[in-house]
Amino acid sequence: MKLFSSFGQYLLMLRGTIRKPENSKMYWKEFMHQSVEIGYGSLGIVVIISIFMGAVSAVQTAYQLVSPLIPKETIALIVRDTVILEFAPTLICIVLAGVVGSKIASELGNMRVSEQIDALEIMGINTKSYLVAPKVLGALLTIPLLVIISMVLGIYGGRLASSLGELVAADAFDRGLQSGFVIKNVYIGLAKAYTFAFIISSVSSYFGYYVRGGALEIGRASTAAVITSCVMILIADYAIAYLFL
Amino acid sequence: MIEIKNVKKSFGTKEVLKGVNAVFEKGKINIIIGASGSGKTVLQKCMVGLLKIDSGEILFDGRDFVTMSSEDKKLLRQQLGMLFQGAALFDSMTVEQNVMFPLDMFTDWERKEKLDRVNFVLERVDLKGSNSKRPDELSGGMKKRVGIARAIVLKPKYLFVDEPNSGLDPRTSRLIDTLIHDITKENNITTVVNSHDMNSVMEIGENILYLDQGRNGWSGTSKDVLFSKHENLNNFIFASEFFRDARDMRILEVKGLIEDERDMEKILREGLKSSGSDPSS
Ligand SMILES: Nc1ncnc2c1ncn2[C@@H]1O[C@H](COP(=O)(O)OP(=O)(O)O)[C@@H](O)[C@H]1O
Ligand SMILES: [Mg+2]
């Protein structure tokens, strides 16, 4: 029951974000600010995770490919497809749900608890559109970019691990990368990235925006935001895989 | 002038405002007093539209805020200033950005013009030169003053203040009170203050509304408030023995100075000065 009313409130919040801005310049400024916070702020962790997850997937694929009948280049191909289809969008977005989601939820929660949201409302500003929309749009702009970076770095990490561990030579790896490449996989990966970006930003905004109480509740809200985002990401991941693969 | 008629507000089954009526006059400090939990904050939040009332009317110079179109509401809100209990400064912004924010949002002035206005109000609240400070560097009293500056930067017609003195030492409290008083008088604002601090009430209050568990308990001027016969109000005002004793002493003192006891109340009310025998002067 509570789940349904929360979901209803979530949808109402989203509908409330679609309003004509009081002052487009200020909204633009807020959008840019959020894009930098979300995108640039998470770049470091995305770089590190991407390289390592590519490396690990290369090592594990090599470990499982014992048959002499399968050429070593296949490792590159498997790394490429798993990174593009699953690792870059899903794993990165699960991490971003933690990094970005908790930031959004606690920022809004703090604004709610310290009456900053009320102060904006009093001034005649639609806080749903001023506070939530720039975050959602900023996430939709930057998270897919981060995922593309992650795809490239993940494959690079796989290549690096392959040549360092003498699993596959670099030129063989490059040959493998080019074989049987379908652009559709990239589109699916990006579709996931957009979906997950929307989930992370809107769900975390919801939990932060409707916080009641004090500092303790802000902490609870950001935990709830992260958990809910992660679960929804996994459900959406499964749905997209089921529909498109 | 703001007039509220039979305002009711419940949360679930809990009735917080049980039909409140009041008139808040222009150019005056209108104070809402009452014990904690009596509904002062809820009433103010209803008046500014942060909470939706269940029934009743809220008239800003005759125009009903509740039934107004959302466009009109937006315009009216730009004439409202509010100082929150915790000041509610935007903590990602500097003092200057906080105060300039309403100007950025609602005017198309040049930056120079906006900065002049910001510096003017900052000077008015005695915070000249604090432009680049961040909220977490400010003391409680300074935060409130920045809050006042932000509330008045768009020259509001109506000013709402929730517990201006909570968390402040007595001296800082009086400074904030004086500031609210002076700003109200200078700009002829309709000011509504929530307070449970009797010092403020006596210092700056003009019209007093006593909320008694969500009902109109008593209303009148600050001169009358000490002599009301309302039992709960008396218990509220004279919660401290000290004040009760002080009043009784004062009464005894005055008694000694006059022949006819019936004049006593009048003299107390008008102050001893007017009778030419103020022992403290
Ligand atoms: N959002 C809310 N939901 C439920 N109850 C509330 C809410 N806000 C205030 N109340 C209740 O309304 C009553 C009056 O609160 P309030 O107006 O804050 O009192 P005051 O400001 O006079 O101390 C309190 O009992 C409080 O618990
Ligand atoms: Mg209160």
Q: What is the DSSP string of B158-196?
A: EEEEE-TTTT--HHHHHHHHHHHHHHHHHHT-EEEEEE-
Tell me which residue in A22, A114, A122 faces B86 most closely, judged by beta carbons. A114
Nearest chain A residue to B76, by CA: A124
Nearest chain B residue to A24, by CA: B105
Q: Is the pLDDT of residue A5 over 80?
A: yes
Q: How many CA atoms lie within 13 A of B267 on its CB side?
A: 22
Tell me how far CA of residue B193 lies from CA of B2, B19, B42, B164, in angstroms.
13, 19, 13, 8
Residue B252: what pLDDT? Answer: 72
Burial of B36 (0-12, 13-18, 19+ CB in 10 A): exposed
Which has more confidence, B221 or B281? B221
Whole-model pTM?
0.88
Residues facing residue B159 across a β-bridge: B81, B191
Nearest chain A residue to B49, by CA: A122
Q: Is the pLDDT of residue B73 over 60?
A: yes
How far away is chain B from the Cα of A125, in angstroms, using its nearest Cα? 8
Q: Is the pLDDT of residue A87 over 70?
A: yes
Q: Is the pLDDT of residue A76 over 60?
A: yes
Q: Cβ contacts (< 8 Å) between A125 and chain B: which residues?
A: 105
Dihedral, CA atoms, B94, B98, B99, B104, nearest 10 degrees? 110
Instruction: Find the length of chain B.
Output: 281
How far away is chain A from the Cα of B74, in angstroms, using its nearest Cα? 5
Spacing, Cα A124 to ligand 1 middle (Å): 23
Q: Cβ contacts (< 8 Å) between B84 and chain A: which residues?
A: 115, 118-119
CATH class of the region B2-221: alpha beta
Mean pLDDT computed over A100-114: 97
Q: What is the ipTM of this complex?
A: 0.86
Confidence of residue B231 (pLDDT cuts 50, 70, 90): confident
Q: Is the pLDDT of residue B275 over 60?
A: no
Instruction: Note whether A156 and A52 are within 8 A (CB).
Output: no
Tell me which residue in A22, A110, A121 faces B50 most closely, judged by beta carbons. A121
Q: What percent of chain B is predicted at pLDDT more than 90?
A: 67
Residue B276: what pLDDT? Answer: 43
Cβ separation A124–B85 shorter than 8 A: no
What digits encode the pLDDT tens for the residues B97-150? Answer: 999 999 999 999 999 999 999 999 999 999 999 999 999 999 999 999 999 999
Minimal-distance CA residue to ligand 1 atom 20: B37
Spacing, Cα A36 to ligand 1 middle (Å): 39
| Mean pLDDT, chain A, integer | 94
| Mean pLDDT, chain B, integer | 88
Domain boundaries, chain B: 2-221
Q: Which residues form ligand 1's pocket by a CB distance below 6 Å? A: B 11, 14, 16, 34, 36-42
Residues facing residue B55 across a β-bridge: B8
How far away is chain B from the Cα of A31, in angstroms, using its nearest Cα? 15
Mean pLDDT computed over A144-171: 94
Domain boundaries, chain A: 23-244
Of A21, A118, A211, A20, give the one whose Cα is nearest residue B48: A118
Minimal-distance CA residue to ligand 1 atom 19: B37
Q: Which chain A residues touch B if contact means CB-CB below 8 Å? A: 22-23, 25-26, 110-111, 114-116, 118-119, 121-125
